[in-house]
Amino acid sequence: MKKIANLFIWVVFVNLVVPTFSSAANITARVDHQSMVYGESFELTLQADSAVENPPDFSLLKRDFKIIDVRKSAATTWHLTLQGKRIGIFSVPMIYFGKDRSQAIRVAVKPVLKKSSTRYNDKPIILEVEANVKETWVQSQILYTVRLMQNIKLTNIALGTVTTNDPDAIIEKLGATGKYEKMIAGTPYLVSEIRYAVFPQHSGELIFEPVLLQARISAAASRALLNQFMEQGRTKTVRSRKISIKVKPKPAHIKTHTWIPSNDLLLVEEWSTGREKIRVGEPLTRTITVAASGISGTQLPDIKLTTVNGIKQYSAPPTTEDERSGQGIVGAKKIRITVIAAKEGRFIFPAITLPWWNTVTGKQEIARLNETVIETSGAAAVKVQDRPPSAGSTRHENKPPPTAPLQPDNKPWAWISLALAAAWLTTLLLFIRKSRADKNKANSTLLTPDTDLRALEKAVLTAAKAQQAPHCKDALLSWAQARWPQIPCNNLAGIARLCTNDLGQEILALNAQLYANEPGEWSGSRLASAFHHFKRQNSPCGKRHLQPKLEPLFKNR
């Protein structure tokens, strides 16, 4: 069970994370159940995260499986109803879409049970429920399955809601896992399943109340079967059994804010470019992702970043995503950080740790990102004003001509003049030193924000021209935070309102591309052009408020 959970979270994790950094389609394959008796059918679902190179090639399936039906529910999703040709353990092969392909899945086809072993006594309608665990931890995921089995045709099927004795339990419908045929004691049944993810919020005994189903017998059913219901067309009600699960409390030594019950948890990072020999002032993107099985992305904690001396970090608001399937919920939380080196050198980003509770082993574990090292080279392109004359040159220019040695004199004016000259020279040296320090401070304080802003603007243009919509969004958020520090800019719609019509419309088009159910074509080049025009026009929508630069203490003559 642990291996299956690990495999599943890795497959879903790749589906959630890898598309950000790869242009090839990632194709996920899954089956509604991996064990069936001979004669039963099962459903294979193939889902691509983007357009595939070629239509799928199903020819390899025909060796061990009979293809009963093929349906396409979306532009990149295929559903196949399959049936094993013989008893044994088989591999659903990789399905090729040109160069893209899915992963293989193992399934087992078992012999048909003898008729005497059945407990259903040839009932025409069977409503069965089951949970994937007998005991679990508070707030952890329970998979609850409602299964309708019928050997007569039904219409107007209405299934009641799933309820428990925990009034605060979170119950999320994962949807139907498909239909298939099942042999029960030699009798074929059509099976329909609906699965739910249930998260108990209190410890103790969790009771699932019986589920009710109402249906009408179709006129196409045989008279022999209709006799069991007294009359044709009558609405019948079927009730499932009640089941209970033991819910264990959170261990006392675990802090509430670190309580993350999950089957498996991954903590990874990705960088937009290599981490060696990065140019000073050049932005790069660091993406940290937490993905966990059996928990929603909104329940995952935020990652706390540590300040690195010499590195400026601009983080976009975290994004969450949930992948729902018959195997449950896999949640992910991503945080994207724009990283800009302010000076040359070698920098270490400290390790990141995240404690979580393994519901399989019943122990606390620590997910860890090891420390990351980046190296920067080159210098920021900052124009520095000419320095004032050095103390040494000033001292040389004001040096008095040599004079004859002073002869002892009883008059005090000579000593007074010497003391005044020394005091004047000391004052001049201190003034020059202070002027140089003030000028260097002004350069570092006043020029750095402009340098950072230029780097963030370059990041926006680079992502837009490369058609990288997620990176372009993150770069825009970081740029807006730097340009309008007094105005909260947490989403693209808010940034669009601050900009001119052309740039605002292109930002809204980017937003639609990222969040539409069926994204269309997005032109990053148009956004780049509008962004460049916005910079040149110095739009009145709001200029970054910087203090005016100080006049230089020493002007060139």
Low-confidence winner among 69-78, 155-164, 279-288 (lowest mean pLDDT): 69-78
Q: What is the pLDDT of residue 196?
A: 95
Distance (Å, whole) CA 62 – CA 321: 36
Task: Give pLDDT tens digits for 82-101.
Answer: 989 999 999 999 999 988 88
Say how many C-beta atoms besides its own lie within 10 A of residue 53's C-beta.
12
Q: What is the pLDDT of residue 547?
A: 38
Superfamily (CATH) of domain 2-110: Immunoglobulins (2.60.40.10)
Task: Give pLDDT tens digits for 486-521.
Answer: 777 778 888 888 887 789 888 988 888 887 666 667
Q: What is the pLDDT of residue 365?
A: 94
pLDDT at position 118 over 60: no
The answer to whether 190 and 150 are in contact (CB under 8 A) is yes
| Token representation of residue 315 | 């983080």
What is the mean pLDDT of the segment spanning 301-318? 89
- Looking at per-residue pLDDT, the higher value among 76 and 426 belongs to 76
pLDDT at position 106 over 60: yes
The percent of residues in the chain predicted with pLDDT above 90, rounded, is: 31
Distance (Å, whole) CA 110 – CA 107: 10
Q: What is the pLDDT of residue 288?
A: 94
Task: Provide the pLDDT confidence category of residue 221 given band limits of 50, 70 and 90.
Answer: low
Q: What is the pLDDT of residue 483?
A: 85
SS3 167: coil
- Looking at per-residue pLDDT, the higher value among 234 and 258 belongs to 258
| Token representation of residue 202 | 């209190």
Task: Provide the pLDDT confidence category of residue 289 given band limits of 50, 70 and 90.
Answer: very high
pLDDT at position 451 over 70: no
| Sign of the dihedral defined by the CA atoms of residues 108, 109, 113, 118, in that order | positive
Phi, psi values for residue 29, rounded to 5°: -115, 140
Task: Provide the pLDDT confidence category of residue 358 given band limits of 50, 70 and 90.
Answer: very high
pLDDT at position 156 over 90: no
SS3 478: helix
Distance (Å, whole) CA 192 – CA 313: 51
The percent of residues in the chain predicted with pLDDT above 70, rounded, is: 72
Determine if residue 378 is left, alpha or beta; phi over 0 gives left, psi from -120 to 50 gives alpha, anything else beta.
left
The mean predicted confidence, pLDDT, of the chain is 77
Q: What is the pLDDT of residue 113?
A: 63
In this chain, the answer to whether the domains covering 116-248 and 264-377 adopt an identical fold is yes
Q: What is the pLDDT of residue 516?
A: 66
Determine if the pTM surpasses 0.75.
no
Element (H, E) at 330: strand 328-341
- Looking at per-residue pLDDT, the higher value among 200 and 499 belongs to 200
What is the mean pLDDT of the segment spanning 55-61? 92
The answer to whether 308 and 349 are in contact (CB under 8 A) is yes
**CATH node for 264-377:** 2.60.40
Q: Where are the domains of the chain?
A: 2-110, 116-248, 264-377, 449-557
Q: Which residue has the tokens 């404690």?
A: 355
Distance (Å, whole) CA 233 – CA 152: 12
Low-confidence winner among 59-68, 186-195, 197-206, 439-448 (lowest mean pLDDT): 439-448
Phi, psi values for residue 319, rounded to 5°: -120, 145
Distance (Å, whole) CA 421 – CA 405: 17
Identify the CA nearest to 514 among candidates 391, 336, 295, 365.
Answer: 336
Distance (Å, whole) CA 329 – CA 291: 10
Say how many C-beta atoms besides its own lie within 10 A of residue 208's C-beta.
26
Task: Give pLDDT tens digits for 326-352.
Answer: 889 999 999 999 999 888 888 999 999
- Report CA 149 to chain centroid distance, whole Å: 38
Q: Which residue has the tokens 């087992």?
A: 108
Q: What is the pLDDT of residue 259?
A: 92
Whole-angstrom CA distances from 549 to 24, 85, 443, 485, 546 are 49, 81, 9, 19, 9
Task: Provide the pLDDT confidence category of residue 110 given band limits of 50, 70 and 90.
Answer: confident
Q: What is the pLDDT of residue 388?
A: 41
- Looking at per-residue pLDDT, the higher value among 123 and 354 belongs to 354
Q: What is the pLDDT of residue 219?
A: 61
The answer to whether 441 and 553 are in contact (CB under 8 A) is no
Q: What is the pLDDT of residue 536?
A: 80
Task: Give pLDDT tens digits for 365-420.
Answer: 999 999 999 888 875 444 333 334 444 443 444 444 444 443 444 444 444 444 44
- The stretches of 227-374 forming alpha helices (DSSP H) are none
Q: What is the pLDDT of residue 505?
A: 85
- The stretches of 347-500 forming alpha helices (DSSP H) are 391-397, 413-465, 469-483, 492-498
| Token representation of residue 420 | 């005044």
CATH topology of domain 116-248: Immunoglobulin-like (2.60.40)
The secondary structure of 498-527, three-state, reads HCCHHHHHHHHHHHHHHHCCCCCCCCHHHH
pLDDT at position 204 over 90: yes
Task: Provide the pLDDT confidence category of residue 32 given band limits of 50, 70 and 90.
Answer: confident
Residue 340, strand partner residues? 312
Phi, psi values for residue 530, rounded to 5°: -65, -35
Task: Provide the pLDDT confidence category of residue 233 given band limits of 50, 70 and 90.
Answer: low
Q: What is the pLDDT of residue 140?
A: 95
SS3 467: coil
pLDDT at position 431 over 50: no
